[in-house]
Amino acid sequence: MNSLLNVILTTDFAFSVLRVTTPILFAALGALISNRAGIINIGMEGIMLVSALAGVIVSAYTQSAWVGLLGAVLSGTLIAGILAFFTLKFKTHIILGGVAINMFASGGTVFILYLLSGDKGSSTSLASKVLPSIDIPLLQDIPVLGPILSGHHILTYFSILSVLVVYYLLNRTPLGLRIRSVGENPHAAQSVGVSVVRIQYSALLLSGFFASLGGAYMSMGYLSLFTRDMIAGRGWIAIAAESMGRSTTVGTALTSLLFGAADALSNALQVLKIPAELIATLPYVATVIGLIIYAVSETRKKNKKLKATITK
């Protein structure tokens, strides 16, 4: 046990929690926005994968990490746009649409990677760029906090900033108000002239935008190259985090952090001989349990209400 505490109670561990939380947090925020507009985007994994690859390719060809980031974000948002087009225009089932996006991404990225680099496993032959890490002056000199909070990848900081942005967007802007109204009562939104379809388009594009930041982080920060299936379930964890966080910005951010910690812990726990494979299932187990608790309490509430309403 001591050895575990020795691992966890270090600034390195806290630092790594933020590091692994970043992609989950981005995608969870994306999932949050589309869910609030009433559409479940399960294509997160696929969008992240595509943008991770796009970031590598564009940065390799332009030799600019920033243009690479732009490429990643544009391509991820484009994928979300395709999903939106099919589901909102052609009425493709949103879940099957998400399945299609994931299928497309897992093979399509390898396909493109192979065409460009002749390698199906990773992008080692592409001289891609990474985005910088940043030391924050003053903060970095504070003991304990400094080593935990300073020196992170720029997108890690951006992900924290994004929590505030998404919170502001959803709760303090006209668009946010409309997104929430469309998710909660589309008829009400429609009746005052809010175009439900247009709002859902925006929400899906935004979810693609945030997911692709997570994807870009994976290949231009977390690692410095693209490898096949490198998202490795982070998109699903993000969906789980959003669900556990009960579709609130704060809840989603905290659950993402929790799941990030579980991820970081899985390395630490190996010291205790607790297998990483099982630790990796924790977010999903937690989500199922959370879902059950929620569903049971909802059913109880409904029954009680019905009883109260009818017997009284």
104 near other proteins (CB under 8 A)? yes
Q: For residue 24, what are the CA distances in angstroms to 27, 116, 233?
A: 5, 28, 10
Taking the complex as a whole, how short is the minimal distance between the CB of residue 129 and other proteins, in angstroms? 25
Look up residue 143 and give its DSSP letter. T
Give SS3 for 132. Answer: coil
11 near other proteins (CB under 8 A)? no
Contact 274, 23 (CB under 8 A): no
Taking the complex as a whole, how short is the minimal distance between the CB of residue 18 and other proteins, in angstroms? 23
The residues in 34-73 that bind other proteins, with binding defined as CB under 8 A, are: 40, 42
235's tokens:
């998109």
Rounded Cα distance, 223 and 237, in Å: 19
**Is the torsion defined by CA of 157, 159, 163, 166 positive or negative?**
positive
The residues in 107-136 that bind other proteins, with binding defined as CB under 8 A, are: 107-108, 110-111, 114-115, 120
Contact 212, 77 (CB under 8 A): yes
Nearer to other proteins, 103 or 161 (CB): 103
Nearer to other proteins, 96 or 271 (CB): 96
2 near other proteins (CB under 8 A)? no
The residues in 135-164 that bind other proteins, with binding defined as CB under 8 A, are: none
The residues in 239-298 that bind other proteins, with binding defined as CB under 8 A, are: 239-240, 243, 275, 277-278, 280-281, 284-285, 287-288, 291-292, 294-296, 298
Rounded Cα distance, 147 and 92, in Å: 48
Residue among 181, 227, 249, 256 that touches other proteins (CB under 8 A): 181
